[in-house]
Amino acid sequence: MKHEEVAQASDQLLQAEQLPLPKRNVSQPSSSADTLPLFSGAALVQGMNSVAKDVAIPFDEAVYMLDSSAAMPYKTYRVTIKTVAGYAEIRRFLPALAAELPNVHLDTIHCVRPDLAATTLSCELAFSAFFSKAARE
């Protein structure tokens, strides 16, 4: 009887492997940059500073760099922020920033705590902000 159960399970496995995989519902990025805002470095800086102030995140250092590749249908502004803040403030900052500036996305975050008793983290956050290529310089 065991041999029959193994054979049956093996047949079921082979049949399952032959079934097509379900299509994943993955949203594709728009081929058009029309939905992106016009480029404004001042508005980006002001928006990020406003959100940081609202959630009490001090920027120790902020670096803004335009990365405009001719091959891309949009402009990318790279933003790197260094801050020392509590975990709760960092957790509030990220969704607040996403709500205020939907064209800004977190690329990386790296935080360290100097020791176990420390209540603050020293963090470096890297973002990409996307803007319409047709935007003013």
More confident residue, 84 or 136: 84
* pLDDT digits 0-9 by tens, 48-66: 999 999 999 999 999 999 8
Q: What is the DSSP string of 94-108?
A: HHHHHHH-TTEEEEE
Q: Which domains does the chain have, with CATH numbers?
A: 37-132 (3.30.70.60)
pLDDT greater at residue 73 or residue 87: 87
**Close Cβ partners of 40 (under 8 Å, ≥ 6 residues apart):** 131, 135
Are 48 and 63 a contacting pair, CB within 8 Å?
Answer: no
pTM for this prediction: 0.70
